[in-house]
């Protein structure tokens, strides 16, 4: 099992949000160009027994848009969707 300590030891930046509300995000950007998004979990069950979605896109503009959206969500005091953003 990969742990925070293992990631830190390998030089990976790890951030833990102080809010008690979980950020249930399974998307990330690699090298400012590769965007991975979708519902798939990296677990034996998620990969072999569940219907999940995953999408990879190599597009630096799309990756930059994702990073802006992520930073906006990260910087909110809570992960709850603001009422003003509800349809």
| pLDDT at residue 87 in the model | 60
**In contact, 63 and 32? CB cutoff 8 Å:** yes
| pLDDT at residue 43 in the model | 82
Read off the pLDDT of residues 28-86 as tens digits, 9 standing for 90 and up.
Answer: 999 999 999 988 887 888 778 888 888 999 999 999 999 999 888 888 777 666 666 65
Distance (Å, rounded) from C-alpha 46 to C-alpha 43? 5
| pLDDT at residue 80 in the model | 66
The 3-state DSSP class for residue 60 equals helix
- Residue 69 has, within 13 A of its CA and on its CB side, a CA count of 11
| pLDDT at residue 82 in the model | 64
């Amino acid at each position: 099992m990969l742990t925070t300590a293992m990631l830190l030891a390998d030089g990976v930046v790890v951030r833990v949000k102080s809010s008690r509300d979980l950020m249930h995000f399974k998307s990330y950007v690699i090298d400012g160009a590769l965007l991975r998004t979708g519902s798939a979990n990296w677990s034996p069950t998620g990969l072999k027994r569940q219907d999940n979605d995953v999408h990879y896109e190599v597009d630096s503009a799309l990756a930059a848009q994702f990073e802006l959206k992520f930073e906006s969500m990260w910087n909110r005091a809570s992960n709850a969707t603001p009422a003003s953003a509800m349809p």
